[in-house]
Structure 1
Amino acid sequence: MGARELGLPQRVSAGGLPTRVTIWEVGPRDGLQNEKTIVPVEVKLEFLDRLAEAGHSVLEATSFVSPKWVPQLADAEQLLDGLNRRPGVRYPVLVPNERGLKRALDAGCRDLAIFGSATETFAQRNLNSTVEDQFAMFEPVAAGAREAGATVRGYLSMCFGDPWEGPVPVEQVVRAGQRLLDLGCDQLSLGDTIGVATAGHVERLIAAFDEAGVAPGRLAVHFHDTYGQALANTLAALRCGVSTVDSSAGGLGGCPYAESATGNLATEDLLWMLEGLGIETGVDLDALVATSRWMAERLGRPSPSRVVRALAG
């Protein structure tokens, strides 16, 4: 029996795992920001609508960054103006600074995220800031968002390794993550920006946050699959009590500021694993595969997701 006839994996539950996982879908934002050619806003809107139809409850829609730095997301206001907002679906947006916050609030967004770095070099390259100064930059953003009644998520990049600085000490990551939470972030997403994490490292970092008073329930994980470890690392995080996982439909995306960062964990690959473990997500795998195949056609290249390829075979 081939993958197409199989349809879904056999469900065999394992102990010590959450019964439900929230998939934080980053494909429309993180997945498309690195494209070399501009994706028409109409295609982005249909992508978002198809993902919502597939059952996603969180769709990171866009980012209010400078068009000079990320021209692919220059259409943020136009996209949000045309968005078919479905009941029960969150559409968070990324805001890098106070200017981005104003644009997001003016566009009616009340679900926001800020993006910090655990290392000095990446802070300089990505934020034109130091690690310490980034918190001063984020403070009025977080405060303004909270004053407007918005939720705020904190992304922390380079949590496991940095292409310029090498291995990143666990204690350094915890300090930076705690600072973001202290600013008022509701959740902290730990990013393996260049995909070098391994399962034991994931367990140690989550345990270190727990020891610092940050429970796993306040954490999310964001793995890249550079060395094929994203699913193993996700499973390790789930066993530690994390229940929110970032992923990108079709495995789209990377990081425009770190050349060694390859694609995000594909949502279909994640979903196949979660389905097999009997973990609920609310997302329909067949509908998601169809959506990623549709987007791959629009982008003119096949999806890197192993599950998309298997089910299309």
Structure 2
Amino acid sequence: METRLKFKESICTSYVFHMLSVANIGYENDYGTKYKDYHHLEDLKILKNNETYLTVEGGSRCGQLYTLMVGIPATYDNIMDMDSYFHSIIELFSTGDLNREYSIFRNRYTGEAFEDLSQQRAFVNEVYEIFNTYSTEIIDIAHVMLRNSKLFQERVYEKTRPIVNEYTKAFKQTIGKFGDLMSKWEQILLVAYKIPNFNVILIDSIDNGAQAIDINQLNDVFGMYDNHEVLVRFISHELGTYLMMENLSDEVKSDLLDYWNAIESLSSYLNTMYITGLADDVGANEYIEWYKSNYEMGSDFILEQLIKKAREEIEKNRKRKNSEF
């Protein structure tokens, strides 16, 4: 059955998160232990020293250099283009020359080409102004990534690739049994995805760390679980959360930290009750309990109004309880 949920193989995504794992950045697992000795200790130290800049924590924190040095390079389809990106990064932040051909940035940030040179210069100037404070760190990290990409391609990827592909093949059979998850979410939330496809990239280096990592609008990275149903539940949860985020207003998105529990809990509740039937790992909380009492399958509701009402009433209950003590 053809669905919009796709499984994508990516050597560049695998490489970027391989380097985070072997440097023990956000991930501490057997994979990192196994492959860290392939790399020079000084390179791993450089990455480790910049851990805060290169990591994310759910909806609560995004490292200052995560997009530039992790998210964007992970979206490339081949090592050569990714290396060119890092060379461009080094050139830009070493020279400060904003007049060079840096169309690579616009394409990776927005998926759109520059209309003219003045537009390119304005955009590159914006990138430079945002990140120039971290120019030393950016250059150091980029050099590390360039020094190790060929080694990964020749000595690691050829070993790990067949393992990941075999797992993906088997997992697709499992998740297929749950039907068209994206259509299910659209039907229950009464809104539609704006993206044509949702790409899942499975990699074997991110145990014991952040999962469901959106490296851009179309691609999410997940680890490989022995229990396939755990991964089905995880992917479905992200599909629900993503669909909500696409259809919420800028008002809510600008205050996302305050709404995050309401959004995540709604995704968890609906995923368990109506989409997959698999118990989510969020656990019982006051938002889940509120949705149990106030959400009715098939009711004509507006997504944002439901989330706002949940947050408003739970905040009132919290204040009332606090005033009683």
Give the alignment's TM-score, normalised by structure 1: 0.23
Q: Which structure exhibits the higher relative contact order, with contacts defined as CA atoms closer than 8 Å and separated by 6 or more residues?
A: 1
Higher strand share: 1
Give the alignment's TM-score, normalised by structure 2: 0.23
Higher helix share: 2
| Larger Cα-atom Rg | 2
